[in-house]
Structure 1
Amino acid sequence: MKIIFFILISLSLYANNILTNYRINGINSVEKQMDLELTKNEYWSEYLKTIDTTFGYLESSPKVLTCNKDASTLNLYIKDTNNTYSFIKTYNAFTGKIKGDKIKEGDLITPIGIYKILKKLTRENKLDSFYGPLAFVTSYPNTYDTFRGKNGHGIWIHGLPTEQTRDEFTKGCIAIDNQNIECLSNRIDIQNTILIIDANKIKQNISKEILSSILSELFVWRYAWLYDDIDAYLSFYSNKFVRNDGMTIQRFKKYKTRIFKKLEKKTIIFNNINVIPYPNSDDIYQITFKEYYKSDTFKFIGDKILIVKVDKNNKKIKIITEK
């Protein structure tokens, strides 16, 4: 009871401080104070205590497909009414003929990475019968693939031939039998499903300590951006940074410095945040979110992707590419 009492007192004092700040300095000061609170590791550590972090921190992906290439399996997990990822089904799968990570067009390798499902193709869309009754188109090559110079396209999850024979491997796609591809189609929706592919078992039960550090760092970056601290903002970028459109770190610094000098009032809101450890890596994470940005001269509402490297010692992040 004493602990609860002291917590309530602390919350009351905190609310009082905000109210006093608002009374004296107005809403902008309170807003800045709240933005600062979002940068604190303590906030995120407390927030994550009740969050299922089986695959990372996921706000916008209630359905997760994982592909273990060595085991030749495709697994489906769906977030249940308790907001916990429940295992639903394993589908036996064919993957690329060659092991490893896809590098280029025609190498017969299924890529390792994190992908969205962009659309569903069916026989009504003139899908070739070789791919069975339907196919899901993935987002390969993704932002990190492009950064690393990978190429190729047409990585799908599809069925098996209805009129032809086939080998027990693919040219890089993931293939499951036709009954299962129909079953999968009934269980997922394209907008809310992610696909994680690895050479072997997918990482699970991701460290909440690491995730809280990354999320607090994300909002420190946002704070610097929001309040025109160009030095703090640029400190988040790796010297090897290259933006998805090819802009190098040198050009990016000049571009952002020019924008920050305008000192415009900005609104920056992040939601639908996902933080996922990148397969086949110990320190690379993919951060995605929906960004709302508005200033006096520019407005943007859309998807943002950051690929970050996490320092194992101080848990700080460096952005190596973004889109």
Structure 2
Amino acid sequence: MRILAMFALCVSFLFADLIDVYRTQGIDAVKEKLEKQLQEKSYWNNFLEKKDVTYGYYESTKFLILVEKGTKELKVLENVNNLFSQVVQDNVIVGEKPGDKQIEGDLKTPEGVYELTSKLTKLDPFYGPLALVTSYPNTFDKAMNKKGHGIWIHGMPLNEKREEFTQGCIALDNPNLVNLDKSIRLNEALVLISEGKLEKVKKDDISSILSFIYKWKDAWRKSDIERYLSFYSNDFKRYDGLSLDGFSEYKKRIFSRKEDKTIIFSNINIIPYPNSLNKKMYKVLMDEKYRTRNYKFDGKKELFIELKDNSIKILTEG
């Protein structure tokens, strides 16, 4: 109760402060003060206090499909009011070869975070009653020059015996696949594929990342090129292979225009990113509304970031 009372008192002081700023400096000054507040880690620590971030932070994702290749286990978690509950658990079959997928035909199941792009029916009976198509290769995979396509979650043959492995897909018994399909909504689900068990996410990581996002946005909004580029890793590579040097030159040309920008992020999702590089990574997936006088964009924004040595850097974006 004491903590809640103190928090309410802080909020009331902040509100009074904002009124005073508006009265003396106008609405633009209020917006600027709120932008600064969103860059403070302490704000996000308070915001996350009663939220479950064991598996990450989600504003629009409602279902997580967790696949552990080592144990050949699949779990579906449902996010209700920031609390996760398990709704499906099953054994699965994965790629014949161990390790992370690199090239077409290597018989490996990829590691990472993927969206479900579509559901296929009327398939060859070998794949069972349906298949859920993943977004492999994703933006990070492309930046790492990984090849291949057609990684599905599918069923077992309808008229023959199933082999012990797949060619890289994830397969489960047909009744359980149908149950999985009924348990999720395709556009609100993410697939996390890891070799072993996912480590629990720390709130400190999530508050640091949320603060990072708004600091990065602030530098972008103000066309502060040096500060903006400081958020990027020396190992940064765009999905199309563009290195940090090329990306920097491109952004310097854009920022030199000093255009007024409106940038709004919503539906922010921060997902722990399983990988075979031994990096502590997260994928940030959010909706972006971007406006300048001559250009507008409404769509998805992806950041693949690394936490290392008490700093956060962007490895890839899309």
Q: TM-score, normalised by structure 1?
A: 0.93
1: CA distance, partners of 2:90 / 2:97:
20
Structure 1 match to 2:294: 297
Structure 2 match to 1:91: 90
- Report Cα offsets for 1:62-87 as digits up to 9, x if no partner: 1111111121111111123x431101
- Relative to structure 1, the CA distance from residue 79 to residue 165 in structure 2 (aligned partners, 3 Å threshold; closer, same or farther) is same
> Does the CA-based 8 Å contact 1:271-1:289 persist in structure 2?
yes
> Does the CA-based 8 Å contact 1:203-1:279 persist in structure 2?
no
Query: What SS does the aligned partner of 1:114 have?
Result: strand
2:121 is aligned with 1:122: yes
Unaligned runs of 5+ in 2: none
RMSD (Å) for aligned C-alpha atoms: 1.7
Matched AA of 1:300: F
Aligned pair count reads 316
2: CA distance, partners of 1:195 / 1:114:
6
> Does the CA-based 8 Å contact 2:142-2:240 persist in structure 1?
no
Query: What SS does the aligned partner of 2:288 have?
Result: strand
2:200 is aligned with 1:209: no
Following TM superposition, the consecutive aligned residue runs of length 4 or more in structure 1 with deviations greater than 6 angstroms are: 1-5
2:11 is aligned with 1:11: yes
CA positional deviation for 1:261: 2.1
Equivalent pairs: percent with the same residue?
A: 43
Partner residue of 1:165 out of 158, 161, 164: 161
Matched AA of 2:76: L
- Report Cα offsets for 1:72-109 as digits up to 9, x if no partner: 111111123x4311011211111111111111111111
Structure 2 match to 1:242: 237
Structure 1 match to 2:255: 260
2: CA distance, partners of 1:190 / 1:2:
42
Matched AA of 2:146: K
* Mapping 1:80-229, distance limit 5 Å: 80=80, 82-123=81-122, 127-204=123-200, 206-229=201-224
> Does the CA-based 8 Å contact 2:78-2:86 persist in structure 1?
yes
- Relative to structure 1, the CA distance from residue 282 to residue 75 in structure 2 (aligned partners, 3 Å threshold; closer, same or farther) is same
- Report Cα offsets for 1:260-300 as digits up to 9, x if no partner: 22222211111111112221444221111111101111100
- Relative to structure 1, the CA distance from residue 4 to residue 132 in structure 2 (aligned partners, 3 Å threshold; closer, same or farther) is closer
Matched AA of 1:103: Q
Matched AA of 1:230: I
> Does the CA-based 8 Å contact 1:65-1:196 persist in structure 2?
yes
Query: What SS does the aligned partner of 2:314 have?
Result: strand
Query: What SS does the aligned partner of 1:191 have?
Result: helix
Q: TM-score, normalised by structure 2?
A: 0.94
CA positional deviation for 1:147: 1.6
* Mapping 1:283-322, distance limit 5 Å: 283-312=280-309, 314=310, 316-322=311-317
Unaligned runs of 5+ in 1: none
> Does the CA-based 8 Å contact 2:286-2:300 persist in structure 1?
yes
- Relative to structure 1, the CA distance from residue 101 to residue 16 in structure 2 (aligned partners, 3 Å threshold; closer, same or farther) is same
